[in-house]
Amino acid sequence: MANENPPPKKAASNLYLGFDISTQQLKLIAIDDNLELHTEVAIEYDNDLKEFNTSGGLHAGADGVSYTAPAAMWVKAFDLMFARLEERGFPFGRVVSVSGCGQQHGSVYWKEGAQKVLQSLDSSKSLYDQLIDRFSIANSPVWKDASTTRQCRMLEEAMNGPEVVAKITGSRAYERFTGNQIAKICQEHNSDFKQTERISLVSSFGPSLLLGDYASIDYSDGSGMNLLDIHTKDWNQTALDACAPGLRKLLGVPTPSCSMLGTISNYFVQRYHFSADCKVCAFTGDNPSALAGMRLQQGDIAVSLGTSDTLFLWLDEPKPQLVGHVLINPVDSSAYMALLCYKNGSMTREWIRDKYADKSWEKFEKMLASTQPGNGGNIGFYFTDTEIIPVGVKGCFKFDKDDKKVEDFSPEEEIRAVVEGQLMAKLSHAQHLGYHVNSNTRILVTGGASENIGILQVLADVFGAPVYTLGGTKNAACLGGAYIAKCVYTDPSSFAGALQTAPQYTLTAQPVASVHQVYKDMLPRLQKLESDLLSHINDSE
Ligand code: 5FX
């Protein structure tokens, strides 16, 4: 007999969007209620928006240290992204919440009158056509910029030294940090700066477009400016005054990273048929967002082994130092995270691989396995690019078991030395920032090198904690935005709770106690050699 009452059709799931205004692309991920991927789109600035003539999404200055990106290019990327989604028949009406992230530290300067334009966007026109003339500084300084050394020293002087800047803002003054970038713009483009109505971070610029109004800067990305007091979660007036006049008003009031800012602007409702109830949440920086995307929990450490290596640590107590950055935690604003960015990551490992292992990872792994943990006491530091941690070192420095400087190791020893040297230094720097491995610690790994099992085993042994990998998290930052959108919509009180159904990590390497002991014994030697190396460099400057 035919079923007269077919089961009711299941309502289509809600969708949650995560944007990432990254250095080279504008990316978007849509996930559903089960946290499953629904859509993924990317607009590549160099190829999709050729008219802006960027290389890697940026314009490099002739001085070799200045880097900017046109704010109007990011606006056009949003237009193009929505047009592509529309072409694909994307169900905008099912989106209930939107969040995202952006490259950290970059700043966008809105010209007087821009807020009115944002509030009354005409849905028959593109965002680009309406906003092209609305920036007082057309080219936004971005994180690669290192042209503000003078402004950094001025800030450190105004605040009584780098230690005080670090203690209050989470980091000593860094060239790419936004306060120093704003100071330079104010000094060098004063008449344009004076026409500025509001300054956004790249991250808060994104939700400003979606809200049709200025979006608040979130605590976590705000911690990358050298302006926010990471303890009181308010701007530090001395830092503001040292960078530019009237900054408190120009920056607006900061907000927790997991917060709802309002509903989507009518522009998107009319032009793309979003629901008028769709929530717009704060965006954060790409690194904090990656912490959310990797679902880091108390005690965990995330390691991204990419072109450059990045470590995120969950911290309960902030202990900012002159090395590394402490940020307010994006998923729990009563906690903190540490961020350690190394310039010499995969590129350096690849350089060694090409030199000694015939450009083959397979051979590299075999050679690594042919040597003993601890490398017979040999320790190497490999900085093919000028490093940020420790700051300013360049070159390769090799020491034998008696700490005597040597020119070369055997090819096999070189391979083990680069892996062990890089990973032990990471542990040392993390410990310095107050991080302790505990019995629940998981090391969550992403990035290209997460496929090199030999490297992951050394990582587990150095830290004395199990290593987990998660397939398909290539886009952790973007995914973090979608997770935050889901969390703010469903259960803002518990990020982990809102994400219980997310895919599980795979246990990839377990530490071996006796090998961990070898590294524990070696660590003080590495620390002493690194500090001697630094004082040697500082003395010879
Ligand atoms: C972090 O401090 C950085 O400068 C970079 O990782 C940028 O966030 C890259 F987008």
Residue 356 lies in a domain: yes
**What is the pLDDT at residue 540?**
61
**Is 27 in the same domain as 57?**
yes
**Is 432 in the same domain as 306?**
yes
**Is 324 in the same domain as 272?**
no
> Residue 143 Cα, ligand 1 centroid: separation in angstroms?
6
Determine contact, residues 230/326, Cβ cutoff 8 Å: yes
Distance between CA atoms of residues 222 and 255, nearest Å: 9
Please name the residue whose Cα sits nearest to atom 2 of ligand 1. 104
Domain at 231, CATH number: 3.30.420.40
> Residue 327 Cα, ligand 1 centroid: separation in angstroms?
13
Residue 69 lies in a domain: yes
Strand partners of residue 379: 399
**Is 137 in the same domain as 106?**
yes
In ligand 1, which atom is closest to the CA atom of 308?
A: 6
> Residue 135 Cα, ligand 1 centroid: separation in angstroms?
23
Boundaries of domain holding 48 = 15-288
In ligand 1, which atom is closest to the CA atom of 102?
A: 10
Q: Which of 229, 256, 288 delimits the end of a domain? A: 288
Residue that is written with structure tokens 């020119």 in the block: 407
> Residue 310 Cα, ligand 1 centroid: separation in angstroms?
9
Q: Which residues line ligand 1 (CB under 6 A)?
A: 23, 103-105, 143, 176, 224, 285-287, 341
In ligand 1, which atom is closest to the CA atom of 310?
A: 6
**What does DSSP say about strands 336-342 and 379-383: parallel, antiparallel, or unpaired?**
unpaired
> Residue 103 Cα, ligand 1 centroid: separation in angstroms?
6
Please name the residue whose Cα sits nearest to atom 5 of ligand 1. 104
In ligand 1, which atom is closest to the CA atom of 286?
A: 8
pLDDT tens per residue, the chain (541 residues)? Answer: 445 566 666 678 999 999 999 999 999 999 999 999 999 999 999 999 999 999 999 999 999 899 999 999 999 999 999 999 999 999 999 999 999 999 999 999 999 999 999 999 999 999 999 999 999 999 999 998 999 999 999 999 999 999 999 999 999 999 999 999 999 999 999 999 999 999 999 999 999 999 999 999 999 999 999 999 999 999 999 999 999 999 999 999 999 999 999 999 999 999 999 999 999 999 999 999 999 999 998 889 999 887 778 999 998 888 898 889 999 999 999 999 999 999 888 889 999 999 999 999 999 999 999 999 999 999 999 998 888 888 888 899 999 999 999 999 999 999 999 999 999 999 999 998 888 888 999 999 987 777 899 999 999 999 999 999 987 656 889 999 999 999 999 988 888 888 888 888 999 999 999 999 999 999 999 999 999 998 877 666 5
Radius of gyration of the chain, Cα coordinates, nearest whole angstrom: 24
Q: Which of 284, 341, 343, 389 to probe ligand 1 with, by most ligand atoms within 8 A of CB? A: 341
Determine contact, residues 209/323, Cβ cutoff 8 Å: no
In ligand 1, which atom is closest to the CA atom of 22?
A: 10
Domain count for the chain, please give it. 2
Q: Which of 22, 143, 144, 326 to probe ligand 1 with, by most ligand atoms within 8 A of CB? A: 143
**Is 97 in the same domain as 212?**
yes
**Is 165 in the same domain as 229?**
yes
Distance between CA atoms of residues 388 and 339, nearest Å: 12
**Is 25 in the same domain as 144?**
yes
- Give the Cα-Cα-Cα angle 416, 417, 419 (nearest 5 degrees): 65
> Residue 30 Cα, ligand 1 centroid: separation in angstroms?
23
Q: Which of 269, 288, 307 delimits the end of a domain? A: 288
30's enclosing H/E stretch is strand 25-32
406 Cβ neighbours under 8 A, 6+ residues apart: 378, 398, 399, 400
**Is 283 in the same domain as 352?**
no
Residue 503 lies in a domain: no
Both tokens of residue 252? 């607006």
**Is 106 in the same domain as 163?**
yes
Q: Which of 45, 101, 105, 176 to probe ligand 1 with, by most ligand atoms within 8 A of CB? A: 105
Residue 480 lies in a domain: no
Cα separation values, 56 from 44, 52, 288, 341, Å = 9, 11, 22, 19
Determine contact, residues 342/490, Cβ cutoff 8 Å: no
Reported pTM: 0.90
**Is 283 in the same domain as 381?**
no
> Residue 174 Cα, ligand 1 centroid: separation in angstroms?
12
Residue 492 lies in a domain: no
In ligand 1, which atom is closest to the CA atom of 287?
A: 8
Residue 174 lies in a domain: yes
**Is 210 in the same domain as 358?**
no
Distance between CA atoms of residues 332 and 477, nearest Å: 17
Q: Which of 258, 288, 318 delimits the end of a domain? A: 288
Please name the residue whose Cα sits nearest to atom 1 of ligand 1. 104
**Is 179 in the same domain as 53?**
yes
Please name the residue whose Cα sits nearest to atom 4 of ligand 1. 143
**The dihedral of CA 123, 129, 133, 136: what is its sign?**
positive
Please name the residue whose Cα sits nearest to atom 8 of ligand 1. 104
CA nearest to 40, candidates 12, 14, 19, 13: 19
At what angle are helices 513-540 and 453-463 packed, to 10 degrees? 90
> Residue 285 Cα, ligand 1 centroid: separation in angstroms?
8
In ligand 1, which atom is closest to the CA atom of 176?
A: 4
Residue 476 lies in a domain: no
CA nearest to 396, candidates 412, 384, 404, 379: 384
Residue 482 lies in a domain: no
